[in-house]
Amino acid sequence: MCRVITPDSVGGHSRVDDPLSIAELLRETLSEELNAMTELAARHHMIDDEDVCHALGHLIDARRQAISAIWDLLQKTEDKTFGKSDQGHKH
């Protein structure tokens, strides 16, 4: 996959504004969030302390909401990128 986040000549990172680049950044972010969720869920499964598990459960719920929001943004951005239209094209 081509990565949008590449250092510019002064060592910073470039900003993007086109839908294709934004979608790529969102896909990378979604992937990272899903990996983090896997790690968090694994730790939740391993820990026997009820208070810690309860707190981790809240963190997992918050992460699920964040993942859902990123997914929604990605879908909207990809719709813009690929010109989603329900007119004249049926499967």
Q: What is the pLDDT of residues 4-19, one digit of tens each?
A: 555 455 555 678 888 8
Amino acid identity of 26?
L
**Residue among 84, 86, 44 at smallest CA distance from 63:** 44
Give residue for tokens 């986040």.
Answer: 5
| CA distance linking residue 4 with residue 1, whole number of Å | 9
Q: Which residue has the higher pLDDT, 41 or 6?
A: 41
* pLDDT score at 16: 87
| CA distance linking residue 63 with residue 27, whole number of Å | 16
Name the CA dihedral angle for 49, 54, 59, 60, rounded to a multiple of 10 degrees: 90
Q: Which residue has the higher pLDDT, 83 or 43?
A: 43
